[in-house]
């Protein structure tokens, strides 16, 4: 029997890694056989094209690579992870908590397109990854919604205010704002579960956010 795939989604700096870890800890305490995975998997050779893209080797603006090509970079990394790492665990009933997934392509690549093309792109993307490539569809997507100003503060702290360490997505506030609009659209039309993580530029306490995430997921997993 297949397991469950829970995706923690959000913009850069929204706390996905932290909340993925907290969710895994909470589920383990409830006796769930769970594993955390992160995308891109920078430790795998499968992320080579993603690293080149984010490092600006194809151009220093996100629009330098069209959304279909960029999506393929990330999709191949996910396929490699599923086939070589976590797929067997999932197929045998394990619960996977993913920090990003195909849903990140929907957010970040839609933002490069006119809004009237978003529905067509999302349809292509999900068909490409879930049907043609054959990776699992999520059972639940939790979207950590955070204001761009708040996420920028967190990212600056992550890099000790060294802006040169940010990738081409993280440096481009206009792109991040467009991605926020795309993320809100995707969460609405795709039925993602939303957790509000900030208000007026102030981030909510990590424990409060974690509690909201667990309350959403427990009904699916426990």
User: Running DSSP on this structure, what letter comes out for residue 20?
Assistant: H
Q: Which of 86, 129, 140 is nearest to 106 (CA)?
A: 129
* Mean pLDDT, the chain, integer: 92
What percentage of the chain carries pLDDT values higher than 90?
77
Residue 168 — very low, low, confident or very high, per pLDDT cuts 50/70/90?
A: low
Residue 164 — very low, low, confident or very high, per pLDDT cuts 50/70/90?
A: low
Domain encompassing residue 92: 4-221
State yes or no: cis peptide before 40, omega within 30 of 0. Answer: yes
For position 211, which CATH number holds?
3.40.50.300
Alpha carbon distance 175, 198 (integer Å): 20
Report the pLDDT averaged over residues 74-83.
98
| Residue 163 pLDDT greater than 60, yes or no | no
Whole-number pLDDT of residue 84: 97
Check: CB of residue 7 under 8 Å from CB of residue 101: yes
Number of domains in the chain: 1
Report how far Cα 42 is from the mean position of its chain's Cα atoms.
Answer: 14
Alpha carbon distance 126, 23 (integer Å): 25
């Amino acid at each position: 029997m297949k397991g469950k795939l829970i995706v923690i989604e959000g913009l850069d700096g929204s706390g996905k890694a932290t909340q993925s870890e907290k969710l895994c800890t909470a589920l383990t305490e409830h006796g769930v056989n769970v594993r955390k995975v992160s995308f891109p998997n920078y430790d795998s050779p499968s992320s080579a094209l993603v690293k080149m893209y984010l490092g600006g080797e194809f151009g220093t603006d996100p629009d330098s690579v069209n959304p279909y090509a960029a999506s393929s970079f990330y999709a191949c990394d996910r396929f490699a992870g599923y086939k070589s790492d976590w797929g067997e665990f999932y197929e045998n009933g394990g619960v996977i908590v993913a920090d990003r997934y195909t849903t990140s392509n929907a957010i970040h690549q839609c933002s490069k397109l006119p809004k009237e093309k978003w529905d067509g792109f999302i349809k292509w993307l999900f068909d490409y990854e879930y049907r043609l490539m054959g990776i699992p569809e999520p059972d639940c997507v939790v979207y950590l919604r955070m204001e761009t100003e708040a996420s920028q503060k967190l990212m600056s702290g992550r890099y000790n205010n060294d802006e040169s360490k940010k990738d081409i997505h993280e440096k481009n506030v206009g792109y991040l704002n467009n991605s926020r609009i795309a993320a809100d659209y995707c969460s609405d039309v795709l039925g993602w579960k939303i957790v509000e993580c900030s208000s007026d530029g102030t981030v909510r306490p990590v424990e409060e956010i974690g509690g909201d995430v667990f309350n959403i997921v427990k009904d699916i997993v426990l």
